[in-house]
Structure 1
Amino acid sequence: MPLPDFLVIGAPKAGTTALHAALSRHPSLHMSPVKEPKFFLTDGPPSGRGGPGDAQTHREHVWRREDYEALFAAAPPGALRGESTPFYLYDRAAQRRIRAAIPHARLIVVLRDPVERAHSNWAHLWSAGLEPVGDVVRACAREERRIAAGWSHFWHYLALGRYGEQLEHLYTLFRRDQMLVFRYRDLVDRPARTLDQICVFLGVETGVVTEIPRENVTAHPEPGHRHRLLSAALRAGAEAGRFLPGGLGTALTEPLEGLLQRRGNARRPLTWEQRRLLIPRFVRDIELLQRVTGEDFGDWLGPRERSGGLVGTRPDGQRQARNGRPRSG
């Protein structure tokens, strides 16, 4: 049975879901029906440890070799096979497993401003009622303790954005011509050109897919008694789901998440004060990223986000307008 020819390996909250959906429309590409199988993250079943909601994520993990190969069995003759698991870039052991199994694979990497990426990651889990800390800076301060406790990759808000370390290791395993690295803002601002760039990299016809599908963005529930109550119930339900068979855990938590989202507002942008406090966490890695790629990422150290579909808050506190472009994970 075949393994994939190419992988979208990162980063989380950098448009990989939308990119997977766009590439699945190309007749010469067969994208796995499970968008994020996570096969190369482990050598067997995932750990039973984790943070809130991680048990359900572990159940979605396609870890058996035969199940993983079956994702590509329906590929038309001659089509390139691909999958998208954005944690492969972050996980050094996953990088080595990919190298051992498919050394000639092509790898696609999407990089997003690491501060904005961390905020989007936190907002995703806060909106789902799983993140108990109502401020991204305070949540990031708990990261080392959470990692030590075995919380899964999606809780590693800061570490997931240290792309310099990740790419430096990846470049020791794969040739540079096997990798395509570009920015999330290119996917948002210039989707047709960026999709053509990917098609050229993969060696398939250009001009076939020109748009990135829009995705629903979850609401952002306001902190308060209602949010605390529903979130606590949702996290308790997620923990109970760890011991329930099949999809019973999801059936238990989905109604609670619906209630949580019902009165939510549009997701709030990162404030300048929050950004100012988080930028120092990435300075050294951005310098490393510039050395290993030869590209300039100095704009990520400035006051304004310009790597996604939303411009953040200015230093004077004035809100920047949304530009109406889709934002996705």
Structure 2
Amino acid sequence: MSGLDRPLDFSIVGAAKSGTSSLGRWLHEQPSLHVLQPKDSHYFFGQTGKHHWAGPRDEVFNKKILASREEMPAQLARVSSRVRVGEASAFYMADPATVTALERDLSPNGIAIAILRRPDERAFSAYMHMVREGLEPGSFEEGLLAEDQRIADGWQPIWWYRALGYYTQQVECLFDVLGRDRVHIMRYEDVVLDPVRALAPALAAIGTSITGGALTRQNAGGVPRNRALHRFLTEPRLVKRLGSKVVPRSTWSLVRSDLESRNLTRAKLPAHVRPALMADYLPDVRRLEGLTGLDLSTWNVAP
């Protein structure tokens, strides 16, 4: 049963830490498109009843899911019928029940957009995201070792460092539920290099197009140089809301993202971890190439 009065034209469904935030912001800034805000409200997790994640600070994640059940339909009603409207979550493709819930609220021509990033880099980016948030206490290797127990204990999918990089089964689910013609798979590197070209087939499928604009980096991982500044820039405080009143909301969002990015110290995946991690992924990568037709040969070597 559909939960929305108006079907969606598109949904960004993952993969987490593969540029979904950057893509969601970029699409939202196009005049012909609207991405329901905030991105990653995870509405369709709520439609499946999954809003009781039990990891560190997951109560915030749970509240976003519950709030979206009221806020998303109300926001959707305010969007012009002339605009293509969509929604975005970094985790949908990882959950078959959520994909099924999404299908019920997609228009007959609606599409799912998935971005696939080299899995070892994606896993480390997820780890650095949790380091940035002050939630990951150990090394990347320790996080990988703890992963199975964290999943068993009900921690939200951002903690699934290794598991979310096995893409083949996730893509197969998208194809099975939505049909191949309604799923648009893109390589992360193509989106970063030329987003207009990468998105053109997907947007043509829903009857619109875009002309350009910079794809700015959003939600990057790293170690904050100044924790107080990081908290100010990322938490929903009054000062942040005041900032959007001084300058236009879109401008304030870009300024805040730039300041947040500049405050982060980048780290690289430890060289001694990469070979074993990619050895685990390579059989799945080969299956994924056969399933999607994508050229993933560059994933076989160090970037």
The 3-state SS of whatever aligns with 1:120 is helix
Residue 128 of structure 1 pairs with residue 133 of structure 2: yes
Local SS of the residue matching 1:12: coil
Match of 1:51 in 2: 55
CA RMSD, 1 decimal: 2.9
| Structure-2 residue corresponding to 1:266 | 265
| TM-score normalised by length of structure 1 | 0.74
Equivalences for residues 34-49 of structure 1 within 5 A: 34-43=38-47, 46-49=50-53
Give the residue type in structure 1 aligned to 2:290: R
AA in 1 matched with 2:125: S
For residue 214 of structure 2, the aligned residue among 211, 216, 226 is 211
Distance apart, 1:197 and its partner CA: 4.0
Q: How does 1:102-181 map to 2 (within 5 A)?
A: 102=106, 104=108, 105-133=110-138, 135-181=139-185
Taking the aligned partners of 1:81 and 1:265, their CA distance within structure 2 comes to 33
- Amino acid paired to 2:123: A
Higher helix share: 2
When Rg is computed on C-alpha atoms for both structures, the one with the higher figure is 1
Shift of 1:31: 1.4
Residues 197, 212 of structure 1: alpha-carbon distance in 2 compared, 3 angstrom cutoff: farther
Q: Match for residue 297 of structure 1? A: 296
Q: Identity, % of aligned pairs?
A: 29
CA distance in 1 between counterparts of 2:157 and 2:30 reads 30
| Aligned-partner SS, 1:180 | strand
Q: Which residues of structure 1 form unaligned runs of 5+?
A: 235-248, 252-260, 305-329
- Partner residue in 2 for 1:322: none
In 2, Cα distance between equivalents of 1:216 and 1:8: 16
1:292 partner amino acid: L
Secondary structure of 2:213's partner? coil
In structure 2, the residue matched to 1:20 is 24
The C-alpha deviation readout for 1:62-120, integer Å capped at 9, x for no partner, is 46644321131121122111011121111111011122343632111111001000000
Question: Once the two structures are superposed, what CA deviation does each residue of 1:226-279 show, in whole Å capped at 9, x if it has no partner?
Answer: x9xx9xxx9xxxxxxxxxxxxxx977xxxxxxxxx9xx7621111321211211
The 1-side partners of 2:35 and 2:51 are apart by 27
Q: Find out whether 1:92 has 2:96 as its counterpart.
A: yes
Looking at structure 2, the residues matched to 31 and 110 of structure 1 have their Cα atoms a distance apart, in angstroms, of 16
Aligned residue pair count: 271
After the TM superposition, which parts of structure 1 deviate over 2 Å for at least 4 consecutive aligned residues? 42-49, 62-68, 99-105, 191-202, 213-219
Mark the runs of 5 or more structure 2 residues left unpaired by the alignment.
238-259
Pick the structure with more strand per residue.
2
